[in-house]
Every structure is written in C-alpha cells, then in structure tokens.
Structure 1
C-alpha cells in the first residue's frame, strides 16, 4: 500500500491502492465528510485478496487531500463527481467498477449516466434515487425521528483542534445512524482516530461537504444507467430506510437488491463483510463478451 497524490483541477487528492493493478479495479467512493480511512484496511485487503485492485481516496477537505477554509469550499458537488475520474486517470484506468456509499452512491449514479464509458459496474450502498422522503416523494419513507432531530438542530461544535474532544464528538455523531448490529466501539475509535490524525483541517472536513452547491442527479435519469448494478442496503437504515434501496433496484434497469440484515446508515460493519465481499466479488467478475447475433 502506497499513498499517492493525484491532481484534480486546482486540488490534489490522496489515494491508496490494494492488490495487483493487473486485477479488475474497484474504486471505493465514500460518504460525505468521510476520509478514505472509513474503508477499513482489513476490508480492502480482503477484497484485494479475492483478486481485485482496490482503490480508496480522500475527498477534497478530508484526509490528506486539499483543504479549503471551513465554511468556504472552493469547489462544488460536481467537482467531487469529476474528482473520481481524476483518481481513475491517476492510476491509468480508462474504466473501473464503482462502489459508492451514501453520498458516494450518488456520485457513482451520476458518473454512470454522464460518463458511462468509465463505469464497468455499479455497487450502490446506503443511498437513494432522490434523497430522503417527504410530501413530494411519498413512495420514499422519511428518516427516523432521531436522525430528523439531528438535522433539524445545529448542535454545538467542539473545538476541532482539541483532539480528544473532537474524536469523542465524531464518535457520538455516529450513534443516530446505527442499525441493530451492535457497534464495535473499539474498532470505530481506531478508525476515527486515524481519520483525525490524517486530516489536514478537521473543521473543514465536518463543514464544507454539507454546504456544497449542486442539485445531484435527476431521478428520471436512473433509467439511462446501462452498467450492471448491485444495490446493497441495510434493513435498519434510519436515514434512508430500505425502500430507498428497493426504489433504486426498481428504477435502474436490471439492478439487483441485496438487503444487509441489521445494518444502519454506515460503511459496511464487520458482521456483514462476508456477505458484502462475496456479492461484490461476484458482481465485479469479468463478464464474457456478448455473443454475436445470429445471421
């Protein structure tokens, strides 16, 4: 594993790969305000051991990638989308399998519509065709009350320069998104601590993604996706309940849904790794070329 810095417009993105470049490439695209550390080393190593070239990277304002002043991001949501292409370019990849979680799933959807030649397959986890439900989206259930309360108020921010206080605040902030799988607090603390220690500006990382200007992909565009699509969704997701994943699988042609028992709105926790990795490896296996038409 060797980190590299990849140019992306006026930014530099920190990326890291696992496995052999000769194997099929999977680009991991994370959730908002999250560095690549949330794609745990062991998870990446297991996917690589199954014969995949696994790439993870820090978004702008996370990890070692370019940071902007908190409250003044010098980029848009569209830039985060094209940054994924810059990472592929940095590894000399004309196309890759994309695995996006939450916001990363939205980025992967948009790439599959706007840049289909760069997308071999899609794996969409803990994401939605149109964001949280409400009166204008009656087919998509709203977030659970504990999550709605979190978004309805502006909780006091810790002193992000205080390492101990910041780490405790970040860990506390994960709890409303839990499912029914008991959290592994020791594992979470290790990930959050590593993220804090690698991040150039933690205040910016916890602020800027939430205020970006970009409307995202229009829901009607899902029918244009041609990449083979696997939808992974927790059965206990409190932010985007399971019907959001069901809607994605229904509206993307040929998509297949796999429910992850007890998982909340989170990166895949260790208890579901066997299921997730088996499904991911099978989904990204090389496909035989289409047979020529009879004539």
Structure 2
C-alpha cells in the first residue's frame, strides 16, 4: 500500500497488484465504497490476464482522509482529480479505467476532460453524464420506499454489528439471486477493520449532482474502446440507463448481465466480464 498526498493535504491510500510492466487498470469505486469492495478474486483474475490493477480509497473511505459526517470539505471535482492524481503518482500517462456507479461517472468525466490519459473505459452499473440522454426510468418503487424509511444508526463501535449493517445495506441493491452473502460479509468485515470512520462515507451522497463544468458530449469518445456492463435488474439505474449510455458512445459495447442489480458483477459472470475487459485493453493497444 502507498499513499498519495493531494495539494490540499488529503491523503489517498492506494494499492497496486501485478507487474509494474503491465498496462495500468485503475478501479474507481462507487459512492461510499473503499477499495476493499473490489473483490480480491476478481482483481486476481485481472492481474492474471496481464494487467496492473490499481485500487484506492476515495476520500472519506478506508484509510484515506476523512471529514466530519455531513460536512465534506471537498467537491465532486476533487474526487475526479483524486483519480487522476493516483495515475500521476504511478507515472501512468495513460490507463484503462473501470468505474462502478459514481466511479463510472468519474471515469466518463476523466475521458471527456483529458482523453489523452484514457486507453479504454469500462463503465459498470452507472448512467450517462451527458444531459442529452433524455428521460430514463427512475429508482424502483421498492428501493424508493427503502430510501424513505428512517433506519436506526448501527452501533459502529461493535465491529460485528457494523459489518452486518454494511451487509444489510448492500442487499437491497443486488439482484435477488445475485447476492453472495458470505462474500459480501467477508468484505464488510475488512472494510470495518480498515476504515477510520465508517459513517463519513455517507458524505459522498451529499455530492449528488455535483459535477465538473467540463465537456459532456459523450459522442466525443468515438474511437475509444468502451464497454458498458449493466445488470438486467438494477434497481437504482434500471437497465435502460446502461443501454442509453452505450448508445451515446459510438462503437461502445454493451454487456447486460441477467440477474445482476446495482452491484459489482456477481462471481458467476466474472469469466465473461474479465474476458470483455481484457479485450478492451487489446483493442486499445492495437495500432490503428
């Protein structure tokens, strides 16, 4: 593990896996997620495919700098700049970006603002940053009702209770038959053990709609290898979001996964997902 220090003093915990000589694959997590949520086995498979996998803790997660709950001292633009700063620290002029949910939005923004830094894009369980995408289905009624409930605060002083709260929080987003409770629980326990302040990760949700003032025309990404991975039963961004996102980027490929919700692709799909991601890297490295 290494540390990247930002100009404002923020520290970011960064982990690299694989050979320094392999192409860099930067994993950008969703809101509230530390690097632990990128499953070790999935990362190992990507390393085995010849990639240098990099995962890091967003601000307010894991071992990175935290802010008081309800008062994040940063903006969405800072989260974007953090991802670029991780690449800078690695000496990676170009990298393959994989972003999930909020991380997918960040990846799109980076590709639009600094296309020379991006070799390929994989966008998982996310939606288009281009406002011209038009009307799309909203959150499912079941998830909307859950959001409306005032849930009691978990006892974060108890590691077991804190981990179980994380498991319970992930369950409604997953596909009904795609929730691997044992795997999620193992990750949740590690998140609890490593996080400086679990409650602070909720600060990310205060940044909803906070984006840079940069370009937003996704058709500008024509020619860039882009893979959109979306769950057929995503309750937060229904599958129409993934289809629209892929349609807005000329040449983008869409991989719809049956049974997958708003989550990391389930383990049963990893063979196909890893193959699709590595195919992206091969296209990007082929002379045109």
Query: TM-score category by the smaller chain?
Result: over 0.9
Q: Which residue of 2 aligns with 1:195?
A: 191
CA distance in 2, matches of 1:85, 1:100: 13
CA distance in 2, matches of 1:111, 1:48: 23
- CA offsets 1:143-200 (integer angstroms, 9 cap, x no match): 2112111223432222322322221211111121121434221111100000111001
CA distance in 1, matches of 2:38, 2:210: 26
Q: Which residue of 2 aligns with 1:208?
A: 203
1:253 to 246, 250, 253: 250
2:152 to 139, 151, 156: 156
Q: TM-score when scaled to structure 1? A: 0.90
Q: Which residue of 1 aligns with 2:128?
A: 129
CA distance in 2, matches of 1:79, 1:141: 29
Q: Which residue of 2 aligns with 1:262?
A: 259
Alpha-carbon distance, 1:271 to partner: 1.0
Q: Secondary structure at the match of 1:74?
A: coil
Checking the alignment, whether the CA contact within 8 Å between 1:143 and 1:239 is kept in structure 2 is yes
Change (3 A) 1:103 1:213: closer
Alignment of 1:1-295 (within 5 A): 3-9=1-7, 10-129=9-128, 137-138=134-135, 140-205=136-201, 207-212=202-207, 215-216=210-211, 221-226=217-222, 227-285=224-282, 286-290=284-288
Change (3 A) 1:220 1:64: closer
CA distance in 2, matches of 1:189, 1:25: 29
CA-based RMSD of the aligned residues comes to 1.9
CA distance in 2, matches of 1:195, 1:215: 26
Q: TM-score when scaled to structure 2? A: 0.93
Checking the alignment, whether the CA contact within 8 Å between 2:178 and 2:259 is kept in structure 1 is no
Which moves more between the two structures, 149-158 or 279-288?
A: 149-158
Checking the alignment, whether the CA contact within 8 Å between 1:109 and 1:217 is kept in structure 2 is no
CA distance in 1, matches of 2:200, 2:180: 27
Checking the alignment, whether the CA contact within 8 Å between 2:25 and 2:53 is kept in structure 1 is yes
* Paired residues, number: 282
Q: Which residue of 2 aligns with 1:293?
A: none
Checking the alignment, whether the CA contact within 8 Å between 1:26 and 1:96 is kept in structure 2 is yes
CA distance in 1, matches of 2:208, 2:264: 25
Checking the alignment, whether the CA contact within 8 Å between 1:76 and 1:213 is kept in structure 2 is no
Structure 1: where are the runs of 5+ without partners? 291-295
Which is helix-richer, 1 or 2? 2
